[in-house]
Amino acid sequence: MQTELSYVPAGSPLVLSLETDPNGTAIKGVDAFSAKFTFASLGESALLSRLQQSGINYDADIRPLFGNPVILSAGGSTLTGGAQNDFVFVWIAKDAGKLAALIKKLSGINTVGSHDGATLYSQGGQTTIALDGATVLLGSSVNEVDAALDRHAHGGGMTTADYTQAFSGVPSGGVLKLFGNLSATLSTPTVATARRIPWVGAFRGYAASLNASSSGLTVSFRLDTTGGPLTSAQVPFAAGTSAPSFAGNYPITFAIHDPSQIAAFGQSAAQTASPTSFGTFLKREAVVQKRTGTNLNSLLKLLAGDLIIASDTKTTMGRVQVSDPAAAASTVSKLLAVPQSVLSKRTKVSKAAGGFYTIREASGTTFLVGVVGNELVVGRATPAQLRAFAAAPTTSAAGAQGTVAFRVALVELLRLGLTGSTSSSLAPILSSLGDVTGWMSSSPSGVTGSATLAVK
């Protein structure tokens, strides 16, 4: 990896690494995952046939080259949609002779010179290829390729230490890895306001890794916020590894521990980034307090448990435990007595059965809110569904290692949206799929997380 990275600009905002070693653990994991799906072999056959039509034999011309990772680096203009797509592709093949022969088989390729000992080729306009022994580079322009060759020869490229730091805390061995340093991007004037928020100002970069195996696909990631001093109170959601609980049996479940942290972060971020707008919010809160004897922050301070959201895409509900149910019910009642103070002017509120309130938005969306037992509940659901959800026992978020967790019963969810004939045709695929589960953990040094698609 050291040699490949030396061609990549230090501080690149996007670097992608793809493993190619057919005997390595990463590729064997992909093979084991693909074996779960019979249609995967059809796609492989179609690709091999297309290569053959181009005069390229996979086994003779390409497979002998595999072994080292392929690196792709993209610059800032590519990420921001600029006119120039600045990228560099780097690969050190295992067989220099076969690599040179493969390059010559590409249609429309012409020699256009040399640089730092590498032969330069052009194919289809500005795209440039450089061949230096077993190393091949592909760039968006001659200048991009020349610069990459100069970094390798004279320094200035990314180092192994940069790579190691980026993937600190992320499981190794992934078949596909993505990482980047966003310090330069976040230093532009367009994000100056956002940088006033301590968490954004501390943001340095990110890393993600995709691992495959016979049991499924797992994406692990980390957001690096070591670029400035932070406290646990300045992160967007509750710090720590204590997992929240789930409730109900809906196909989509999301839970977060201590949701009051999100509210506190949001208000702090708004105050820092836009003091004028936040001042308007405080004035509005003062008006609400004067008219009702309470305000929204009074309700937020009563939140004491996990926020749990459950949905089947038609019915969606949320619940959160409150420290004082009577006070929460009273606060909700007072706030909704003057809905224009806390909601939009065109929102209508009316009392519903069982102590709930019906809220009708101008868009036509209707949902209920109320307190059941010691749970504040809200949702696009019936009173009976909300009561059942409020009383549903909690279950552990198995495998979660952070204060945010989710579970999606993918097959059940897909079948809810499929017709009978479509569901039958997809049955072989659906029978191999399991749940999608994941979690996130927050700390002053960063956010780590994982999401897994299980297969049977």
pTM: 0.87
Q: pLDDT by residue for the chain (456 residues), tens digit each?
A: 668 999 999 989 999 999 999 999 999 999 999 888 776 666 677 777 888 887 888 889 999 999 999 999 987 544 444 435 688 999 999 999 999 999 888 877 888 899 999 999 987 666 789 999 999 999 988 888 999 999 999 988 999 999 998 999 898 789 999 999 998 888 888 888 899 999 999 999 999 999 999 999 999 999 999 999 999 999 999 999 999 999 999 999 999 999 999 999 999 999 999 999 989 888 888 888 988 899 888 999 999 989 999 999 999 999 999 999 999 999 999 988 877 666 777 788 999 888 899 999 888 889 999 999 999 999 999 999 999 999 999 999 999 999 999 999 988 888 887 666 566 667 767 788 899 999 999 999 999 999 999 998
Q: Would you report the helix, strand and coil content of the chain in percent, each value rounded to 5?
A: 35, 30, 30
Tokens matching residue 178: 């993505």
Output phi, psi for 295, to 5 deg: -160, 180
In a domain, 296, yes or no: no
In a domain, 85, yes or no: yes
For residue 115, which of 131, 104, 126, 102 has the smallest C-alpha distance? Answer: 131
CA 235 to centroid of chain Cα atoms: 17
Q: What is the DSSP letter of 250?
A: -
In a domain, 100, yes or no: yes
In a domain, 435, yes or no: no
| Whole-angstrom distance, CA of residue 278 vs CA of residue 196 | 14
Q: For residue 352, what are the contacts with CB-CB under 8 A and spacing of at least 6?
A: 358, 368, 370, 383
In a domain, 133, yes or no: yes
- How many structural domains is the chain composed of? 1
- Domain encompassing residue 163: 2-194
In a domain, 172, yes or no: yes
For residue 21, which of 183, 243, 174, 222 has the smallest C-alpha distance? Answer: 174
> What does each C-alpha distance from 171 to 180, 223, 449 come to in angstroms?
16, 14, 11
In a domain, 334, yes or no: no
Which conformational region is residue 348 in: left (phi greater than 0), alpha (psi within -120 to 50 degrees), or beta? beta
In a domain, 111, yes or no: yes
